[in-house]
Amino acid sequence: MNPDRMFTHRLMLGAVALSALAACRGETSKDEPIFGIRNMYDQPRYNVQQESNFFPDHRTMRPLVEGVVAHDEEVDPQVSQGRLDDESGYVLEIPKAVIDRNGGMAAVLERGKARYGIYCAPCHDNTGSGEGLVKRRAVASGATAFQPPTFHQDRIRHMPDGQLFATITNGKSNMPPYAMQIKVDDRWSIVGYVRSLQIAQPKLAGVAPLAPTAAPGGTSIPAPGGTGQAAIGSTPMPSSVASGGSPLAAHSGSPDASTGPSTTPTGSPRATTQTQEKKP
């Protein structure tokens, strides 16, 4: 055979061998050579809202099994919803289970102060008077419908803790729901801190603005806040609450809380000072 043709023939055989080796994965596998149920390894993917021929209702987006709950879901309605077991109304105070598992009322209020500063203060301000920066900017831009309420009005002062919790959870008017952003226990801690703000400033409900004060040089300037409210960030923690007392119980004993009866969600009037336990 011609040496040139022999070299060419060997070169072609080498190229074929290299291409065959390139087609191999070049690694070992622990899988069996034969798979009896291959679709258990390579399952088909369904798009959102796609029709399925497997299920009788032809839905690929399957509903949860009836009765199933998430691993961390709170199942007690008094804690998760702020409602009584018989759905007759809201719980009056922060559930004891929440207070106990978070280290006592003082720890709950400290947590509530931090969460309030993140989620609530931008609209309601640090005193709970509804004069937050978001509200001011909204009004300045012409969105006058955006008016967060003050927490120091009698309606909210006499509101059950469970109803305040449900408002944070579900939202109201322009206020969005915070069920996804804020954990259950943190929502209760915010409720407790709102009560502490109400106790610390019992005279803010229905108070007329303070008269301007005279600045040095004879120039009149409004008092800090302009409406008789304390300066933002200066609200003290009531000693009775910080020591572990119930904010709602302490509030129920304040002079402002006894101005009149409030109404429960079921429509029956209740005097706050009579239905809530007083703490020493």
Computed over every residue of the chain, the mean pLDDT equals 74
Give residue 105's pLDDT.
96
47 is a domain residue:
no
Greater confidence, 103 or 8? 103
15 is a domain residue:
no
221 is a domain residue:
no
Give residue 212's pLDDT.
35
Contact of 145 with 122, CB cutoff 8 Å: no
148 is a domain residue:
yes
Mean pLDDT of 148-174: 94
Q: CB-based contacts of 79: which residues, under 8 Å, 6+ apart?
A: 95, 97, 98, 184, 188
- Model-level pTM? 0.56
DSSP labels, 33-66: S--S-GGGTS-----TT-B-SSSTT-BSSPPPPT
| Whether pLDDT at 224 is above 90 | no
252 is a domain residue:
yes
Element housing 8 (H / E): helix 3-22
Give residue 5's pLDDT.
74
Mean pLDDT of 205-216: 40
Mean pLDDT of 137-144: 85
CATH code of the domain containing 164: 1.10.760.10
**What range does the domain containing 96 cover?**
77-208+230-275
Ranked by mean pLDDT, the top range of 32-46, 165-179, 225-239 is 165-179
SS3 12: helix
Question: Structurally, how many domains does the chain consist of?
Answer: 1
Give residue 46's pLDDT.
82
44 is a domain residue:
no
| Whether pLDDT at 113 is above 90 | yes
Give residue 67's pLDDT.
82
| Whether pLDDT at 40 is above 90 | no
159 is a domain residue:
yes
Contact of 67 with 222, CB cutoff 8 Å: no
Mean pLDDT of 172-196: 94
Share above pLDDT 90 across residues of the chain, in percent, rounded to a whole number = 38
Joined together, the tokens standing for residue 64 give 């949860």
Mean pLDDT of 129-142: 89
CA atoms within 13 A on the CB side of 135: 20
Q: Distance between terminal CA atoms of the chain?
A: 115
24 is a domain residue:
no
Instruction: Give the pLDDT band (50/70/90) at residue 54.
Output: confident
